[in-house]
Chain A
């Protein structure tokens, strides 16, 4: 199937680290993405990782990729209240074109 799975909710205290997990289905996916959706807004591309990488770091964000287990995670260090949002994981599935499949989204709540 084409289901990308994520836990639906995560709650952390301000200043702690957040880890959002995702499992995907297509082992040939060339890119894996993380999108952020703030309340009332569209999705914003947050970061992505090539499938030949294990890790990518970008300021407070760390993406880890375990291809064997088809597991992707997003770690947000020093989580702030402004990080409260829905985070979507996405993979590429080869059809007649490179189709992006989104997960259901993880709603992150940051407690002051």
Chain B
């Protein structure tokens, strides 16, 4: 009964490279949320996806960031041309369709941009 899985746990990129963060929701969960936590700051909502659909992307920067949750496979958060300010912990959470607001979090991916 695995929980929410994220990989990699740590990711180092140089400025200008691409970062791909993966999230496998809990078994039976079809709703995925991505959050960003900057050092010494709170949790900022980025995007909410259901299978193959983006429901709310109001917290995601318009440029360089994209997210998907395909029919098969994990959800991917993609950051193109990373900058130092993208260094943060990125958390994924999942929920079921019946209790969509009860979110279960993964361990996070810590992105460091050199």
Could you tell me which A residues sit within 8 Å of B by CB distance? Answer: 31, 35, 41-45, 48, 88, 92, 95-105
List 6 A-B residue pairs with CB atoms under 8 Å apart, sorted by A's residue number.
A42-B91, A88-B42, A88-B43, A99-B45, A100-B33, A102-B35
A96 with B104: CB separation less than 8 A: no
User: Of A35, A42, A48, which is within 8 A of B108 by CB?
Assistant: A42
Residues of A within 8 A of B106 (CB): 42
User: Of A95, A102, A104, which is within 8 A of B56 by CB?
Assistant: A95
Residues of chain B in range 92-114 having any CB-CB distance to chain A below 8 Å: 93, 100-108
Looking at the assembled complex, report how far the CB atom of B50 sits from the nearest CB atom of chain A, in whole angstroms: 10
Bound-complex Cα distance A102 to B45 (A): 8
Could you tell me which B residues sit within 8 Å of A by CB distance? Answer: 4, 33, 35, 41-43, 45, 48, 55-56, 91, 93, 100-108
Residue of A whose beta carbon sits closest to that of B35: A102
User: Of B100, B104, B107, which is within 8 A of A97 by CB?
Assistant: B100
Bound-complex Cα distance A98 to B43 (A): 17
Known contacts: A97-B48, A100-B101. The answer to whether A43 contacts B43 by CB under 8 A is yes
B102 with A45: CB separation less than 8 A: yes
Residues of A within 8 A of B103 (CB): 45, 100
Bound-complex Cα distance A45 to B100 (A): 14
Q: Pick the most buried of B41, B45, B101, B105: most chain A CB atoms within 10 A of its CB.
A: B101
A97 with B43: CB separation less than 8 A: no
B42 with A103: CB separation less than 8 A: yes
B55 with A97: CB separation less than 8 A: yes
Residues of B within 8 A of A105 (CB): 42-43
Residue of A whose beta carbon sits closest to that of B107: A42
B42 with A102: CB separation less than 8 A: yes
Residue of B whose beta carbon sits closest to that of A93: B101
Residues of A within 8 A of B43 (CB): 43, 88, 102, 105
Residues of B within 8 A of A43 (CB): 43, 91, 93, 105
Residue of A whose beta carbon sits closest to that of B4: A42
